[in-house]
Amino acid sequence: MGLDTEEIRNEIKRILEREGIHRSKRLADEVVKKVGSEKTVYREIKTMAESGVIQRTGSGQHISYDIPSATEKHRLVLFHLLEYAENNWEHLDRSHFKIVNKKQLVPLEALMDIVSGIKQLQTIETRFRIFKMYPALKKSKEWDKLEKQIEKNWKSIRVLIAHNIERSGKSDIVGEVLMNFNPIMRGVMTSVDPASDSKHVI
């Protein structure tokens, strides 16, 4: 397989993975903008469909292509991410119950509950942001659910912090929470070239 052929195939897969199902002409047009001639692109689309790399649906002027295996894989990960977000909410809910109902609040325990809840949620949100690079996944039912669940979890964290302040009487809970996260460092980057006096603030 030549370099052009490989680039064409990679571009076909990239488009389908990012944007989902495409009509034949639209897919070919988008690929040709980046690499290859129309004739070569159509030939590679046909070859990839015949070999099962991409899936062809429809007939005549209504032929479309997709990569169901990749899409399904991403949807499955999205589903598990939603489960993780729901578990995170349950963790926050249990923490909230303890803060509200315990006769004697254990400040360190309450603080760690908040911090661990935030860190879990950050992981979930970061992965979800990466998934936003794949617009095709917006069609899945888990997408909206996950978006709403993340917002619900952040709301729970805000309530958790507020009740912690109320119970403990400590107004600097937010400061204590932030101390458990890596600070944003500001430093000076200098050139390794002895002849250079350039400095960059980072």
- Residue 183 included in any domain: no
Number of independent structural domains in the chain: 2
Domain extent for 113? 69-178
User: Which pLDDT value is given to residue 42?
Assistant: 92
**Do 76 and 160 share a domain, yes or no?**
yes
Whether 199 maps to a domain, the answer reads: no
Q: What is the mean pLDDT of residues 134-157?
A: 86
Task: State the pLDDT confidence band at 121, using cuts at 50, 70 and 90.
Answer: very high
Taking only the tens place, the pLDDT of each residue in 162-200 is 888 888 777 788 888 888 887 655 554 444 444 545 444
List all residues 6 or more positions away from 42 whose beta carbon is below 8 Å from its beta carbon: 24, 28
Does any domain span residue 90?
Answer: yes
Please state whether the predicted TM-score (pTM) of the whole model is above 0.75: no
pLDDT score, position 77: 80
Q: How far is CA 116 from the centre of its chain?
A: 20
In angstroms, the CA 21 to CA 35 distance is 20
pLDDT at 39 over 60: yes
Co-location of 94 and 127 in the same domain = yes
Q: In the prediction, which pLDDT does 124 show?
A: 93
**pLDDT digits over 75-101, tens only?**
778 888 999 999 999 988 888 888 777
